[in-house]
């Protein structure tokens, strides 16, 4: 346990780096899609998308997973501490799936085969924020509150609806 806090420190920094990619890459997708008519601009954004995923996001995700697994191995009793760790690991599974989905969209955008709109990516960009709030809430409180969980999901469902709903004409 001597090195546990150092592993935890590494885990938190890796998680922050991973989240930076999860927050920013969909925003790049918005710029990419909404400026698809500007070839030179899109080529620069494609490079940014590639680098943020391959050089920051994917390594940080794997570092987060590895350090988290190491901490669980060193302190497996945490799995029997009230369910919050199981909730965190469930949200982690969604974050990993989301991360892989970003790579799928990045490749589609790179190959000019993506059919998603800027509005879609604006809404999609809200998902990691919601998941991060859930993870942090579970870890800080060391509990799972149904009200907190459902409330957070409902709030972000409403935000997603507001982003995706058609705009009314002002005529």
Binding residues for heme: 11, 88
Q: What is the DSSP string of 54-122?
A: IIIIHHHHHHHHHHHHHHHHH-GGGGGSSSHHHHHHHHHHHHHHHHHHHHHHHHHHHTT-----HHHHH
Token couple for 88: 């965190």
From the annotation, which residues make up the binding site? 11, 88
Query: What are the C-alpha distances in Å from 60 to residues 52, 78, 157?
Result: 11, 23, 27
Helix, strand, coil shares of the chain as percentages rounded to 5? 80, 0, 20
């Amino acid at each position: 346990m001597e090195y546990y806090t150092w592993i935890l420190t590494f885990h938190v920094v890796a998680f922050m780096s991973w989240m930076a990619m999860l927050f920013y890459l969909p925003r790049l997708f918005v710029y990419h899609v909404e400026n698809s008519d500007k070839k030179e601009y899109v080529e620069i954004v494609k490079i940014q998308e590639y680098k943020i995923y391959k050089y920051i996001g994917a390594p940080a995700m794997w570092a987060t997973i590895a350090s988290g697994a190491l901490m669980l191995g060193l302190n497996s009793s945490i799995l029997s501490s009230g369910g919050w760790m199981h909730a965190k690991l469930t949200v982690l599974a969604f974050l990993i799936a989301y991360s892989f989905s970003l790579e799928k969209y990045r490749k589609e955008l790179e190959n000019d085969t993506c059919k998603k709109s800027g509005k879609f990516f604006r809404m999609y960009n809200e998902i990691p924020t919601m998941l991060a709030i859930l993870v942090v809430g579970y870890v800080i409180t060391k509990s799972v509150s149904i009200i907190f969980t459902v409330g957070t999901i409902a709030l972000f469902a409403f935000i997603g609806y507001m982003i995706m709903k058609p705009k009314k004409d002002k005529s």
